[in-house]
Amino acid sequence: MTSGAHVRHLRHQVHDALSKGATLHIGGTADGQVFAPTVLGDADPAMIVLTQQTLGPILPVVRVADAAAAATMANDPCGPCASIWTDDDAAGRYLAGRLLAARVGRNDVSIHLAPPGYM
């Protein structure tokens, strides 16, 4: 991470999520300015990890009823990039077409690095 303050920000996001019912599957720790890749299950919009920028290796997993519910949640508020993970190409294209993010990747973690128009 770029600073100790950034590490504290990530720790705060994880602590907030856990205090509101998220489940820590892996990570959540830091050593100096290195923050371990972290997966939080059972995340929900009441958690700041879903309402504030993270810019770190935290993946909050939110269960939704269907693709429409996922699009509604992802679009409120909308970040600059979105990532869809699926083995169903048709479902991935359907959802990507409904997201408001400037860049949407399917099964790709580096969409934010690609130049506009790449995908």
Residue 109: per-residue pLDDT: 67
Would you list the domain boundaries of the chain?
1-62, 64-118
Mean pLDDT split into 10-residue runs, the chain, 119 residues: 94 98 97 95 94 90 91 83 88 93 82 53
Residue 39: per-residue pLDDT: 96
CA 7/CA 67 separation, integer angstroms:
33
* Pair of tokens at residue 101: 């993010």
Q: Which residues in 71-84 are b (16+ Cβ under 10 Å) and which e?
A: beebeeeeeebbbb
Residue 85: per-residue pLDDT: 85
CA 110/CA 84 separation, integer angstroms:
12
Residue type, 59: L
Q: Check whether the bond before 77 is cis (ω within 30° of 0).
A: yes
